C-alpha cells in the first residue's frame, strides 16, 4: 500500500507539472503572432530548417513529444469525451464536471503541428525556398511513417493539404511529389482508413521483434497510434 501511494503521488506530481507546462506553452503561443510580426518587420526570421535540417532527428523529436503528451491522458478522459450523455449529469456527482484537458491538449498539439507546417511553407518569399521546405517536410513525414508515428504523419499531411499550401501551384511544380502521394495514399480516409489500418498492422508486427532502443521507440509509437486510431 505504501509503494502504491508513493507511485500515485509521483504520478500526480508529474501530471500537475505537465499541466502547468502546457498552460505556460499556451500562454506563449498566444503571444507568438505579435513576436512574428515584429521579426518580419525587422527582417529577422529563421525557418524550421535553421533549427533542425535533419528530417530523421526532427521525426524522432516529434515522436518523443507525442509519447510524452499521450502518456498523461487518462482513460477517464476518453470515456468522458466519447461516452453517451448521462441523463443524471445535472446532479452532483463524481463525473458531473468533465475533465478532458490533457486529451484536448493532445488534439491542440496535432492542430498546432499542422499549422506550423503550413506556416513554414508559406513564409518564404521565393518559390525555390518554399519548395525546399515542402521537400523537407515530406522527408520528415516519411521518417515519421518509418518510426510508426502516424499521428505526426497525419498532422504534417494535413498541414500540407491546407488551402494556402495546396494553391501554391508553381511551388508544387518544383517538387517531386511521388513520395508525398504514397504517404497520402497510406493515410487515405476512404473505406474507414483501410490503408492506414493495414500499415498499422504491419508496423505492429515489426515492433514485436524490437531489440534496439530505436526499435523500442518505434514500438511505443505504434502502440500510441493504436490508441488514437481506436478513439
> Could you tell me if 110 and 17 lie in one domain?
no
Q: Is residue 93 part of a domain?
A: no
- CA nearest to 231, candidates 79, 34, 45, 44: 79
pLDDT tens, 21-53? 777 777 777 776 555 555 555 555 678 888 888
Q: Calculate mean pLDDT across residues 219-230.
A: 50
Report yes or no: 73 and 19 within 8 Å, Cβ to Cβ. Answer: no
pLDDT of 224 > 60? The answer is: no
Structural domains counted in the chain: 2
Q: Tell me: the pLDDT tens digits for 108-159?
A: 899 999 999 999 999 999 999 999 999 999 999 999 998 889 999 999 999 9
Residues 124 and 206 in one domain: yes
Instruction: Give the whole-angstrom CA distance, residue 183 versus residue 204.
Output: 18
Residue 145 falls inside a structural domain: yes
Same domain (yes/no): 18, 75: no
The whole domain housing 21 covers 1-30
Let me know if residue 79 belongs to a domain: yes
Q: Are residues 199 and 115 in the same domain?
A: yes
What pLDDT score was predicted for residue 49? 87
Amino acid at each position: 500500500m505504501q509503494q502504491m501511494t508513493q507511485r500515485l503521488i509521483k504520478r500526480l506530481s508529474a501530471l500537475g507539472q505537465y499541466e502547468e507546462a502546457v498552460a505556460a506553452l499556451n500562454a506563449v503561443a498566444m503571444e507568438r503572432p505579435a513576436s512574428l510580426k515584429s521579426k518580419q518587420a525587422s527582417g529577422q526570421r529563421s525557418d524550421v530548417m535553421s533549427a533542425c535540417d535533419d528530417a530523421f532527428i526532427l521525426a524522432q523529436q516529434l515522436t518523443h513529444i507525442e509519447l510524452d503528451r499521450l502518456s498523461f491522458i487518462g482513460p477517464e478522459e476518453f470515456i468522458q469525451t466519447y461516452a453517451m450523455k448521462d441523463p443524471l449529469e445535472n446532479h452532483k456527482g463524481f463525473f458531473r464536471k468533465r475533465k478532458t484537458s490533457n486529451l484536448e491538449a493532445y488534439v491542440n498539439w496535432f492542430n498546432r503541428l499542422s499549422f506550423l507546417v503550413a506556416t513554414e511553407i508559406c513564409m518564404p518569399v521565393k518559390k525555390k525556398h518554399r519548395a525546399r521546405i515542402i521537400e523537407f517536410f515530406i522527408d520528415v513525414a516519411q521518417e515519421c511513417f518509418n518510426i510508426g508515428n502516424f499521428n505526426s504523419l497525419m498532422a504534417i499531411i494535413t498541414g500540407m493539404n491546407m488551402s494556402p499550401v495546396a494553391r501554391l501551384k508553381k511551388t508544387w511544380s518544383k517538387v517531386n511529389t511521388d513520395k508525398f502521394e504514397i504517404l497520402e495514399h497510406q493515410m487515405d480516409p476512404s473505406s474507414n482508413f483501410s490503408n492506414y489500418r493495414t500499415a498499422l498492422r504491419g508496423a505492429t508486427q515489426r515492433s514485436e521483434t524490437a531489440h534496439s532502443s530505436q526499435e523500442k521507440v518505434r514500438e511505443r509509437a505504434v502502440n500510441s497510434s493504436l490508441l488514437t486510431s481506436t478513439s
